[in-house]
Amino acid sequence: MNQTKDSLKQLFNNLSENDYKSIADFHIHTTASDGKCSAKEIIAQARAKGLKHFSICDHNTFDGYKDLNFNDYPELVTGIEFDCWYRGIFLHLLGYGADINSEDLKPFLAKNKAETEKDIVRIFSTRNVPKLIEAIHQAGGLAVLAHSACCWTINHEHFVKCMVDIGLDGLETYYPYRRHRGIIKFHRARSVKKIAEKLNLIKTGGTDTHGSL
């Protein structure tokens, strides 16, 4: 916690693909959205597994963090996963390292529980993506396109470039595409990695677990 944007970038840049299989998980859901375990249960599991860096990323809410004293959890990076549409594409945008009490982000947060857990409600999201990315930055955070290979884009590199133009910082690159929730994958994980490297974006990763770790 309390990293600057640069030190957080550094942290992501220092992690390897292997680290995401062993010591890092930057995409975990809790009961604050549609996950099955509470934030405290997830933290206990993360410690038991020996994770050195992790992040709780609930849909449109920081509620999972509200009872936590961040000084007790130095391995925790704040996170959130917003539902949005951009240029006709439905996407999930992750925000890392943002101040959970940021006034800039408040207008983008869920107004009720359904907006954190019901797909059918979340798909009607009207968040303005350029303004959201700006707000994430204002709150001290980084904006990362979640499970990028699942985006229904025709030319993914072009779409990512358009997002970089409005401030995107990274792509979620290390993600369990093959065994995850039956979500249709539109692009190859390897091509996501290439795009991230070509455009000099940070590469993040996580399990996107909605159960236990």
Name the site residues for Zn ion (rule: CB under 5 A): 81, 92, 146, 208
Closest residue to Zn ion, judged by C-beta, is: 92
CA distances from 169 to 70, 179, 190, 200 (A): 24, 26, 19, 9
Question: Least separation, in Å, of the C-beta of 117 and Zn ion?
Answer: 12
Phi/psi of residue 172, nearest 5 degrees: -75, 110
Nearer residue to Zn ion within complex by CB, 74 or 211? 211
Question: Least separation, in Å, of the C-beta of 57 and Zn ion?
Answer: 6
CA distances from 25 to 13, 119, 204 (A): 14, 23, 9
Question: Least separation, in Å, of the C-beta of 182 and Zn ion?
Answer: 13
Question: Least separation, in Å, of the C-beta of 92 and Zn ion?
Answer: 4
Nearer residue to Zn ion within complex by CB, 92 or 156? 92
Q: Which residues pair with 49 in a beta bridge?
A: none
Nearer residue to Zn ion within complex by CB, 146 or 201? 146
Q: Which residues pair with 92 in a beta bridge?
A: 83
Question: Least separation, in Å, of the C-beta of 172 and Zn ion?
Answer: 9
Nearer residue to Zn ion within complex by CB, 53 or 92? 92
Nearer residue to Zn ion within complex by CB, 80 or 146? 146
Question: Least separation, in Å, of the C-beta of 119 and Zn ion?
Answer: 10
Nearer residue to Zn ion within complex by CB, 41 or 74? 41
